[in-house]
Amino acid sequence: STDRTLLLAGNWKMNLDHLEAISTVQKLAWALRDAKVDLTAVDVVVLPPFTDIRSVQTLIQGDSLDMAYGGQDLSAHDEGAYTGEVSGRFLSRLGCSYVIIGHSERREHHGETDAQVRSKVEAALRHELTPILCVGEPLEVREAGEHVAHTLDQLAAALDDLPSADLGGLVVAYEPVWAIGTGKTATAADAAEMCTALREKLRELLGADTAQSVRLLYGGSVKADNVAEITEHPEVDGALIGGASLDPDGFAALCRAA
Ligand code: PEP
């Protein structure tokens, strides 16, 4: 799609310990090579649990694997008395390029608010991490026909008044909550509708040039056999993949199919 590089990001959630992470990344590198995935045309990213990141760094940097990695969350704060939290600075020091912010599981199970999501976007930018900002509606909102307004409100709350010069590399993932881990995928038309609306809103918030460079992902039960149809639309620049990113051969096949 246009001049934006396709991005396929695997959100491991709370799966794979640091030893499993090593074998998964190693197998993924082999599988991407065997599947002849053109890594100049697609950015492949893994998002492991925090405790895996050192191991993943050693492997990816040590063997110069053509992959990037990042965290699944970060603290809004940089350091201090915040027990259990992880600073963006620490992620950055471990070579992370990306960080997921505002995943629906964090909004749901940890009560993350739009205001906290916004503070985390600011924290990521302070430490030169690319936010993968997640937005998307629950089922009842879609059934009420309010999904576009709901999702654009989340986007605006996260980005309003931030300096657009800092946001050229931003990634926004549209993840309808009802499609995450349920096997129910939004149709390619649903993904395209929302990504088109998100781009329009980004133009309003950040100006046309910055909006044009933001990558818009779809997430929710993406698999090797539906990824191509979803990313075919010019406004959909890739996918955020949960379950289907855990199996290296399957994830490589998905990267190949995209
Ligand atoms: C996700 O959690 O970001 C996700 C898209 O999960 P799944 O692919 O398993 O639906």
Average confidence score pLDDT of the chain: 96
pLDDT digits (tens, 9 = 90+) for 184-204: 888 999 999 999 999 999 999
> Ligand 1, atom 1: nearest CA belongs to which residue?
242
**Catalytic residue set:** 103, 175
Residue 75: inside a domain, yes or no?
Answer: yes
Alpha-carbon gap, residue 132 to 35, rounded angstroms: 26
- Determine if ligand 1 sits within 6 Å of the CB of residue 180: yes
- Determine if ligand 1 sits within 6 Å of the CB of residue 136: no
The CA-atom distances, in angstroms, between 168 and each of 84, 122, 161, 172, 196 are 31, 14, 14, 11, 17
pLDDT value at 45 more than 80: yes
pLDDT value for 184:
86
Residue 235: inside a domain, yes or no?
Answer: yes
Question: What is the tally of structural domains in the chain?
Answer: 1
Under the banding of pLDDT at 50, 70 and 90, the label for residue 243 is very high
Residue 157 CA to ligand 1 centre (angstroms): 23
Under the banding of pLDDT at 50, 70 and 90, the label for residue 2 is low
Instruction: Quote the domain boundaries for residue 219.
Output: 6-257
Question: Roughly how many angstroms between the first and final C-alpha of the chain, as a whole number?
Answer: 11
The CATH number assigned to the domain holding 57 equals 3.20.20.70
Instruction: Among 8, 11, 45, 98, name the best residue to mutate to test ligand 1's pocket (greatest count of ligand atoms within 8 A of Cβ).
Output: 11
Residue 22: inside a domain, yes or no?
Answer: yes
- Determine if ligand 1 sits within 6 Å of the CB of residue 221: yes
> Ligand 1, atom 8: nearest CA belongs to which residue?
242
Residue 121: inside a domain, yes or no?
Answer: yes
Residue 128: inside a domain, yes or no?
Answer: yes
Residue 26: inside a domain, yes or no?
Answer: yes
pLDDT value at 183 more than 90: no
- Determine if ligand 1 sits within 6 Å of the CB of residue 100: no
pLDDT value for 113:
97
Q: Nearest 5 degrees, angle CA 165-CA 170-CA 175?
A: 145
Report CA 250 to chain centroid distance, whole Å: 18
pLDDT digits (tens, 9 = 90+) for 118-172: 999 999 999 999 999 999 999 999 999 999 999 999 999 999 989 999 998 999 9
Alpha-carbon gap, residue 91 to 77, rounded angstroms: 13
Over residues 13-22, the mean pLDDT reads 98
Q: Are 92 and 128 in contact (CB under 8 A)?
A: yes
Give the distance between the most distant pair of CA atoms in the chain: 50
Over residues 12-25, the mean pLDDT reads 98
- Determine if ligand 1 sits within 6 Å of the CB of residue 222: yes
Question: What's the chain's length in residues?
Answer: 258
Three-state DSSP class for residue 205: helix
Residue 179 tokens read as 């499609």
The binding site comprises 11-13, 181, 221, 242-243
ipTM for the complex? 0.96
pTM over 0.95: yes
Residue 184 CB neighbours (<10 A): 12
pLDDT value for 3:
87
Residue 1: inside a domain, yes or no?
Answer: no
pLDDT value at 103 more than 60: yes
Q: Output phi, psi for 11, to 5 deg.
A: -95, 105
Over residues 240-255, the mean pLDDT reads 97
Residue 167 CA to ligand 1 centre (angstroms): 24
Under the banding of pLDDT at 50, 70 and 90, the label for residue 1 is very low
Residue 140: inside a domain, yes or no?
Answer: yes
For ligand 1, what atom is nearest to the CA of residue 219? 5
